[in-house]
Amino acid sequence: MKYLSVVLLLFVIVSCKKTEIEQSPEFPSTVYLNRISIKSKTRLYSNKKEITDNDLINRFLKSNGGLIIKDSSFVSDEHIKFFSPDSAKFSSSDYPWLITKNNDQLKFKSTNTWIVTNNEIRNIEMSKYRSEFEPVWDSKFRTYNMQVGYGNYSELSLSSFEYMLVSWTYHDPEYSWFPGEGGLYKSSGSGTRFNEFDESFVQHLGKGDTLAIREYSYSFKKR
């Protein structure tokens, strides 16, 4: 009886190993975008605090154009092609990306750098995963693009969030270049980042800053 138990145990172990081998990914592997899903409610922040009043949230969105991405399912040619466990290419980019895989998390890092300004750095700092900023010239910086997703090489959910940031600043008319100029000035920016929102960014919002965000997942699957 003891001998039979050992044999059965060995059979189970061998079967598990065989299953793991059979499930190993084959490369190249291409996954296609087939769904965009809303993962969170719209959140609004100002002066380092979250605003939870729905009327205030809706008024802010209405007066600034709103968030535009919707829940949707579709057939698309937008895709990610995995060449190996640590390299891939997005159909929307002209260069390959490096991959760092940790369990079901895949972090993508561009092989090309891009040049950004101080204003663009502020938007990038909303992202949880990002690379260092290297000074180059004229208050510009070089950095790598980062994206993050969860799943595997056959089915992947790419993290994303849409943001709208409005800032009000006061310019003293006494120090203006031209008579009559000065007062409150509004600046705004909006967009989508394929990353996770960095909650610590909220601590950098001043009294004149208001930020709305909503999180999504972009689902890719092998056909």
Q: By residue range, what is the domain housing residue 80?
A: 26-222
* Residue 16 belongs to a domain: no
Q: What pLDDT, in 10s, does the model give residues 119-172?
A: 899 999 999 999 999 999 888 999 999 999 999 999 999 999 999 999 988 766
What is the distance between the alpha carbons of residues 4 and 2, in angstroms, rounded to a whole number? 5
* Residue 18 belongs to a domain: no
What is the distance between the alpha carbons of residues 28 and 11, in angstroms, rounded to a whole number? 32
Provide the mean pLDDT of the chain: 88
* Residue 8 belongs to a domain: no
* Residue 95 belongs to a domain: yes
- Tokens 């809303």 found at: 38
The residue among 115, 106, 113, 111 whose CA lies nearest residue 89 is 111
* Residue 101 belongs to a domain: yes
Q: What pLDDT, in 10s, does the model give residues 17-29?
A: 444 444 678 999 9
The residue among 41, 49, 51 whose CA lies nearest residue 204 is 49
Kindly indicate the confidence band of residue 113, based on its pLDDT and cuts at 50, 70 and 90: very high
* Residue 124 belongs to a domain: yes
* Residue 74 belongs to a domain: yes
* Residue 84 belongs to a domain: yes
Q: How many domains does the chain have?
A: 1
